[in-house]
Amino acid sequence: MQFKFSSLAEALKPSEIRELLKYVSVPGLISFGGGMPHPSSFPVDDIANITAALLKEKGKQLLQYGSTPGYEELRIQLVNMLKKTENISANKDLIALTPGSQSALYSLSKILSSPGDEVICEAPTYLGTISAFRANGTVMRGIPMDENGIKTEMLEDKIKSMVSSGKPPKFIYLIPTFQNPSGISLSLDRRKHVLELVSKYQIPVIEDNPYAELRYSGKRIASLKSMDTEGLVIYLGTFSKILSPGLRLGFTFGPEPVISKMNLLKQATNLATNTLAEAIAAEYLKRGLMDKNMPKVISMYREKRDTMLNSLQENFGDEASWSHPDGGMFLWLSLNGKINTTTMLKRALENKIAYVSGSAFYPEKAETNNMRLNFTYSDNNQIVDGIGRLASVAKEELSVVA
């Protein structure tokens, strides 16, 4: 049988990062590729205790279908958490729970845009978002960044030109804090500029904020949602970086019409989220375990970040440049312009070092000499060894291409 697929399905391509996971089990490979938390960050004992107590107390309820909006106690706990961490005044009825925030990204592009519609994002941007939006035929237009995040003057020009051509962007997608892949945070001034722009042109903005709790230095910058007085910001969070990605739990807080449409789409795509996972997350927050656990995680990740930054300085010196993130999971390394990091990946894997080449993160024309490095998954000695290997690989590559 020769299967014929829809045009959207024909356009689906394997993501480089997912394909890389195949190599993760190669003995001796050091991977800076995936975006995985360190296994020791998972509060296994807490989760075991919580799960045992929950199943004992209300197992029959937690193994049953949940309602589409999801476990109410979790939405209540999220309202408290958002107030405390981001000074966001949420409402439990305007929080949509999804099986991972990946699912929210997919849903939002599906409900806010039709195939061929254009939206604006940072360039580079999260490759999972590129996959999610592409699966709906949403076309992404990238705006360059500098050390203060997306260049909002260029953003303004782009919006103006799209508006004057009669096709304003359907929405703007941003990761303002510890951006994936760059590690860069959008400055407060530019955040305010973004809000002015979306208010002036009445464009919804998706604020994807998975990493905010992972701050190792510097001061918290107000989230877009906390400054949103007009209901233009759709805020995305996740338990993947503060509890466990295996549980697949993301949450969206946004304006009523958007949350209502998301829940209708959830009926069609999922019916409900995993009730037990929702209850585990609720109890984790209720018991104050996030406040207990995160300082340990932050301390561990800070050391990893510093180890990677020091190793880069020692091994690359002036031969490359890289971002200096105050938090999150990634930094962005730019090699000599003659090196194509996609081409170089084969040599890297042969030397048992993995990364994701920068081109994977560009929705349009890609720069080719960059890569994303994850510093949370590897142990400190692996980071030192891995950056050393990477420098050797880059040197060899340059000697061939130069």
Three-state DSSP class for 97?
strand
CB of 69 vs a copy of itself, minimal distance in Å? 10
- At position 213, the amino acid (one-letter code) is E
Residue from 26, 67, 83, 84 in contact with a copy of itself (CB under 8 A): 67
CB of 232 vs a copy of itself, minimal distance in Å? 5
The span from the CA of 324 to the CA of 306, in Å, is 9
Three-state DSSP class for 293?
helix
Binding residues among 198-237 for a copy of itself as defined by CB under 8 A: 202, 204, 230-232
Which DSSP letter does residue 39 get?
G
Residue 91 binds to a copy of itself (criterion: CB under 8 A): no
Binding residues among 101-120 for a copy of itself as defined by CB under 8 A: 102-103, 106, 110-114, 117
CB of 396 vs a copy of itself, minimal distance in Å? 31
Binding residues among 127-146 for a copy of itself as defined by CB under 8 A: 128, 131-132, 134-135
Which DSSP letter does residue 66 get?
P
CB of 272 vs a copy of itself, minimal distance in Å? 7
Binding residues among 338-357 for a copy of itself as defined by CB under 8 A: none
CB of 360 vs a copy of itself, minimal distance in Å? 13
Quick one: which segment of 188-196, 263-271, 327-335, 339-347 binds a copy of itself (CB under 8 A)?
Answer: 263-271
Encoded tokens for 371? 């890569």
The span from the CA of 276 to the CA of 183, in Å, is 33
Nearer to a copy of itself, 162 or 390 (CB): 162
The backbone torsions φ and ψ at residue 196, rounded to the nearest 5 degrees and listed phi first, read -60, -45
Sign of the dihedral defined by the CA atoms of residues 110, 111, 115, 121, in that order: negative
CB of 101 vs a copy of itself, minimal distance in Å? 10
Residue from 12, 26, 154, 400 in contact with a copy of itself (CB under 8 A): 12
Nearer to a copy of itself, 113 or 359 (CB): 113
- Residue span 20-59 as binding mask against a copy of itself, x where in contact by CB under 8 A, dash where not: -x------------x-xx-xx-x-x--xx--xx--xx--x
In 3D space, the residue among 320, 298, 301, 311 whose CA is nearest the CA of residue 378 turns out to be: 301
CB of 55 vs a copy of itself, minimal distance in Å? 4
Encoded tokens for 117? 């519609």
For residue 212, the tally of other CB atoms under 10 A from its CB is: 20
**Residues counted in the chain:** 402
Report the chain's terminal Cα–Cα distance, integer Å.
Answer: 49
